[in-house]
Amino acid sequence: MGGSDSHRRSRLAPYLLVAPGILWLLAFFVAPLVILASTSVGQGGAWYETYGLALGRYGPHFLRSFRYALAATLLALVLGYPLAYFIAFRAGRLRYPFLGLVILPFFVTFLVRTFAWKTILGDGGPAVWLLQRLHLLGAHGRLLDTSIAVVGGLTYTFLPFMVLPVYASLEKLDRRLVEAAEDLYATPGAAFRRVVLPLSLPGVFAGSLLTFIPAAGDFINAQLLGSPNQQMLGTVIQNQFLDVRDYPLAAALSFVLMALITVVVLAYARLLGTEELA
Amino acid sequence: MTERLRRWLLGAWAWLVLGYLFLPIVVIVAYSFNQPAGKFNFVWKSFSLEAWRHPFAHPALVDAMRLSLRVAALSTAVATVLGTFIALALTRYRFRGSAAVSLLLVLPLTTPEVVLGSSLLSLFLDLGVRTGFATIVVAHVMFSISYVALTVRARLRGFDWTLEEAAMDLGASPLRVFRSVTLPLIAPGVVAAALLAFVLSLDDFIITLFNAGSEVTYPLYVYGARRAAFPPQINVMATALLLAGLIAAGATTLYFRTAKVFASTESPLR
Q: B202 CB near a chain A CB, below 8 Å?
A: yes
Condensed to tens digits (0 to 9), the pLDDT of residues B145-199 reads: 999 999 898 888 767 778 888 888 888 888 888 888 888 888 888 988 998 899 9
CA B226 to centroid of chain Cα atoms: 24
Instruction: Compute the average pLDDT of residues B82-89.
Output: 95
SS3 for A126-187 is: HHHHHHHHCCCCCCCCCCCCCHHHHHHHHHHHHHHHHHHHHHHHHHHCCHHHHHHHHHCCCC
pTM score above 0.95: no
Q: How confident is the model at residue B37 (pLDDT cuts 50, 70, 90)?
A: confident
Q: What pLDDT, on the 0 to 100 scale, is given for residue B17?
A: 96
pLDDT reading at B141 higher than 90: yes
Condensed to tens digits (0 to 9), the pLDDT of residues B49-80 reads: 989 999 999 999 999 999 999 999 999 999 99
Contact (CB, 8 A) for B10 and A82: yes
Q: What pLDDT, on the 0 to 100 scale, is given for residue B239?
A: 95
Instruction: Compute the average pLDDT of residues A33-59.
Output: 83
Q: How confident is the model at residue A236 (pLDDT cuts 50, 70, 90)?
A: very high
Condensed to tens digits (0 to 9), the pLDDT of residues A127-184 reads: 888 888 888 888 788 898 999 999 999 999 999 999 999 998 898 888 888 888 888 8
- Residues 71-90 in B contacting A (C-alpha not used; CB under 8 Å): 81-83, 85-86, 88-90
Q: What pLDDT, on the 0 to 100 scale, is given for residue B257?
A: 59
Contact (CB, 8 A) for A33 and B110: no
> Domain coordinates of chain A in residue numbers?
1-41, 45-272
Instruction: Compute the C-alpha angle B120/B124/B129, nearest 5°.
Output: 150
Quick one: A3 exposed, middle or buried, by C-beta within 10 A (0-12, 13-18, 19+)? Answer: exposed
Q: What is the torsion angle, in degrees rounded to the nearest 10, for the CA atoms of residue B186, residue B188, residue B191 and residue B195?
A: -140
Taking alpha carbons only, the member of B89, B52, B121, B175 closest to residue A13 is B89
Contact (CB, 8 A) for A81 and A92: no
Taking alpha carbons only, the member of A50, A53, A28, A26 closest to residue A39 is A50
Q: What pLDDT, on the 0 to 100 scale, is given for residue B268?
A: 45
Superfamily of structural domain B55-263: MetI-like (1.10.3720.10)
Q: How confident is the model at residue B269 (pLDDT cuts 50, 70, 90)?
A: very low
Contact (CB, 8 A) for A188 and B5: no
Mutate to test the interface with B, among A108, A155, A157, A205 (most CBs of B within 10 A): A108
Q: How confident is the model at residue B262 (pLDDT cuts 50, 70, 90)?
A: very low
- The CATH code that applies to domain A45-272 is 1.10.3720.10
Q: What pLDDT, on the 0 to 100 scale, is given for residue B147?
A: 92
Q: How far is B24 from chain A (nearest CA, A)?
A: 5
What DSSP element (H or E) covers B80? helix B59-92
Residue bearing the bigger pLDDT, A2 or A122 = A122
Q: Which residues contact B95 (CB under 8 A, 6 or more apart)?
A: A11, A14, A15, B89
Q: How far is A25 from chain B (nearest CA, A)?
A: 6
ipTM summary value: 0.89
The answer to whether the CB atoms of A35 and B119 lie below 8 A apart is: yes
Instruction: Compute the average pLDDT of residues A5-24.
Output: 83
Phi then psi for residue B8, to 5 deg, are: -65, -45
User: How many of the other CB atoms lie within 10 Å of CB of A82?
Assistant: 20
What DSSP element (H or E) covers B156? helix B133-156
Condensed to tens digits (0 to 9), the pLDDT of residues A91-124 reads: 888 888 888 889 888 889 899 999 999 999 988 8
> Domain coordinates of chain B in residue numbers?
55-263
User: How many of the other CB atoms lie within 10 Å of CB of A86?
Assistant: 23
Residue bearing the bigger pLDDT, A184 or B261 = A184
The answer to whether the CB atoms of B112 and A100 lie below 8 A apart is: no
Q: B168 CB near a chain A CB, below 8 Å?
A: no
Indicate the angle between helix axes A147-172 and A110-121, nearest 10 degrees.
Answer: 130
% pLDDT > 70, chain B: 94
